[in-house]
Structure 1
Amino acid sequence: MRYSRLWVLCLLLASTEIGHAQENPLDLVHTPVPPAPAPKPVEAGAVTSRLSGRLRVDVNLVLVPMTVTDTLNRLVTGLEASNFEVYDNGTGQAIKSFSTEDAPVSIGIVFDLSGSMQSKFARARRALSEFMSTSNPLDEFFVVAFNDRPAVVVDYTSQVDDVEARMMMLRPENRTALVDAVYLGVDKLKQAKYDRKALLILSDGGDNRSRYTEAELRRVVREGDLQIYAIGIFDQYAPTHEEQMGPVMLNEMCEMTGGRMFRVLDVAELGDIATRISAELRNQYVVGYRPSEVKKDGNWRKLKVRLIPPPGFPELTVHYRQGYYAPSQ
């Protein structure tokens, strides 16, 4: 287990952006949103290993994690490699590896602490506890909480009690910097221990405070090797444009990475949905292939997976990452 460390409050950010003396609960462990880095194309799903503290990438093998659901949106397990066909930039690929094991995952939790979450906070916190308690015992977690700005409030840990104790100390208030929070979560996952990485977002609305744009967020999400799941606790009648666009943005982020967004109209459903997402992360198919056409040009390569259901099965849907960046050298 990694030890938790206390991040120092960034005084410069406080003086330039906050502009008032009102205490923010996230000031306790404030982590500035990272500056936008220059694009570094890295192959999504590549096999990785750590050597002397640096990340090595085997660019010859692409790994594609997938989830399969039926017409009733239920999880489908028990399929074989012969039930999948993979296409890289339109060219069919020979599957070299196939796995369904419950491998550990590094999971970032992006938790909304804006003022509109006050009536939903207790249930959302319990849903988070259920998600972690039903995950693989070896999974590691961190938590990015956000209102006016995001902060890492729990660093990497495999101890559910560490997360629950910290969440008990937080209170919802202020506005919603959702884009900045997801951006920080993606950046934090670069420090992950495991090859499999995921973000779980719990939020009830759109962004109205971030410094980063949605376009900048899309770029880092496409470059990252991760899946995004979201639990959207949206009001039935969203009064502002930002709240109306919140579900659209979250759904786009999820589909881009092969994850899914679950829309919640009744907060009593939160626990069941959180447990369901945990089950999906533990029951994924991972297909590996070596691209038949290797071009180290740093360009985006589109993935397509075709599902061939066994005889007698109903129509099935496969959820997977939309593509990856080829290596540049």
Structure 2
Amino acid sequence: MRHVLLCFCVLLGGLGGLSSSPRLPCVAGQATPPPVRSAAGEEEEFTLDVVNISLPVTVLNQQGRFIADLSQADFEVFENNRRQSIIAFQRRDGLPLNIAILMDTSTSVRYRLAFEREAITEFLGKLLDNRRDQASFVTFDDEPRIRAGFTNDFQQLARVVNSVTTANGRTALYDAIKQVCLEQMPSASTRRRAILLVTDGGDTASDTTLDEAISIAQRAEVTIYAISTKGGGVFRVEGNPYFNMDDRNLKRLCKETGGDVFFPSDLKQTKRAYDLAKDYLRNQYFLVYEPSETRNNKGFREIEVRVPKHRGARILTRRGYFPGGLATGTK
């Protein structure tokens, strides 16, 4: 006789990032449900998958300023349009971060390489000042190269960043995202994971597609932020972005993983973009919920977070997830 299987507490989001919150217990079912019979009278086997989902959330008002001092009661979470119960909550303070800096070193950015090094080094210096966060450094042209694993040693990272003095070849942006998500993020010390892309947004060399890169990042629970290196010129009209395909793809990559993209038009705005990216990472709430739908289907589950008291707010969080957790070989 085939029986119903129960799989309890596959912890997608993990509660390791809730440093000041108690770890929630996994509670097993009290009895095995009766078997389900098919139309032919045979007992069908299915799996229940009870999952805790974690969400880093940034909330901005209409002027782009962070909305601080929100409580758990201010948030509503929906999965596939169904209201969910928030079972754990933490404010923005005290949440350690693992962030991978991905720097474009292809031919298209060779004239901006020196400024990129300077800006990334300054960004890391500000980000790692509390010694609790960790960063890694990756470059990509024809292929990605992991140049430094996760560390909070700023001096080591600064030396590695400043050793990058040449830029040539094509751009394997999506391959770099895939490699970092599959090879680096599983060893991260916290479930609050992010990527900062420094790139013009083009991809001319990857075997990985945009859709695959998004899917892999979502499975790895990685939030992607990007700073465009295009600067002024033909891609800007009166200081505003003119979204060609590369720009739109970069925007979609960030939005669907819960991050944001910045299109600075000059060096001053570029430095401001790095400060904003740091502030976004520093100003996050952390929500955990247990999905009410426990059937173990493999389809994508859409997530929406609302803050009803601030209806005009802009809310940054990942668009959804795939049941089953971290990707381990997605093509």
TM (norm. structure 1) is: 0.76
Q: How does 1:225-240 map to 2 (within 5 A)?
A: 225-235=221-231, 236-237=233-234
Deviations 1:68-95 (A, max 9, x none): 1111222222111122111122111222
1:197 aligns to 2:197 (yes or no): no
Q: Which amino acid aligns with 1:96?
A: I
1:80 aligns to 2:71 (yes or no): yes
| Corresponding position of 1:147 | 141
Question: In 2, Cα distance between the equivalents of 1:278 and 1:229?
Answer: 10
Does structure 2 retain, via aligned residues, the 8 Å contact 1:106–1:197?
A: yes
Q: Which amino acid aligns with 2:319?
A: Q
Does structure 2 retain, via aligned residues, the 8 Å contact 1:102–1:282?
A: no
Q: Which amino acid aligns with 1:218?
A: I
SS at 2:142 equivalent: coil
Does structure 2 retain, via aligned residues, the 8 Å contact 1:48–1:195?
A: yes
Question: In 1, Cα distance between the equivalents of 2:186 and 2:267?
Answer: 32
The correspondence for 1:209, drawn from 201, 205, 209, is 205
Structure 2: runs of 5 or more not aligned:
1-9, 18-24, 27-49, 236-242, 326-331
Deviations 1:8-55 (A, max 9, x none): xxxxxxxxxxxxxxxxxxxxxxxxxxxxxxxxxx86524369xxxxxx
Q: Which amino acid aligns with 1:317?
A: R
Does structure 2 retain, via aligned residues, the 8 Å contact 1:71–1:316?
A: yes
1:89–1:202 distance in 2 versus 1, CA, 3 Å: same
Does structure 2 retain, via aligned residues, the 8 Å contact 1:186–1:224?
A: yes
- 1:137 Cα offset (Å): 2.1
The correspondence for 2:159, drawn from 157, 162, 165, is 165
1:130–1:76 distance in 2 versus 1, CA, 3 Å: farther
Question: In 2, Cα distance between the equivalents of 1:326 and 1:209?
Answer: 30
1:219 aligns to 2:210 (yes or no): no
| Corresponding position of 2:171 | 176
| Corresponding position of 2:283 | 283
Does structure 1 retain, via aligned residues, the 8 Å contact 2:214–2:257?
A: no
Question: In 1, Cα distance between the equivalents of 2:221 and 2:121?
Answer: 25
| Corresponding position of 1:122 | 114
The correspondence for 1:69, drawn from 60, 65, 69, is 60
- 1:98 Cα offset (Å): 1.4
| Corresponding position of 1:103 | 95
Question: In 1, Cα distance between the equivalents of 2:307 and 2:200?
Answer: 34
Higher-Rg member (1/2): 2
- 1:174 Cα offset (Å): 2.3
Q: Which amino acid aligns with 1:158?
A: N
Does structure 1 retain, via aligned residues, the 8 Å contact 2:303–2:320?
A: yes
- 1:153 Cα offset (Å): 1.1
Q: Which amino acid aligns with 2:72?
A: A
Q: Which amino acid aligns with 1:325?
A: F
| Corresponding position of 2:13 | 45
Deviations 1:207-245 (A, max 9, x none): 11222222322331232211111101225425xxxx932
SS at 1:257 equivalent: coil
- 1:62 Cα offset (Å): 1.6
| Corresponding position of 2:35 | none
Q: Which amino acid aligns with 2:145?
A: A
Does structure 1 retain, via aligned residues, the 8 Å contact 2:134–2:150?
A: yes
Structure 1: runs of 5 or more not aligned:
1-41, 50-56
TM (norm. structure 2) is: 0.76
1:130–1:248 distance in 2 versus 1, CA, 3 Å: same
1:264 aligns to 2:264 (yes or no): yes
Does structure 1 retain, via aligned residues, the 8 Å contact 2:218–2:318?
A: no
SS at 1:144 equivalent: strand
- 1:193 Cα offset (Å): 1.5
Does structure 2 retain, via aligned residues, the 8 Å contact 1:232–1:262?
A: yes
What root-mean-square deviation, in Å, do the aligned CA atoms of Structure 1 and Structure 2 show? 2.4
| Corresponding position of 1:31 | none
Identity of aligned residues (%): 28
Number of corresponding residues: 274
1:113 aligns to 2:105 (yes or no): yes
1:309–1:275 distance in 2 versus 1, CA, 3 Å: same
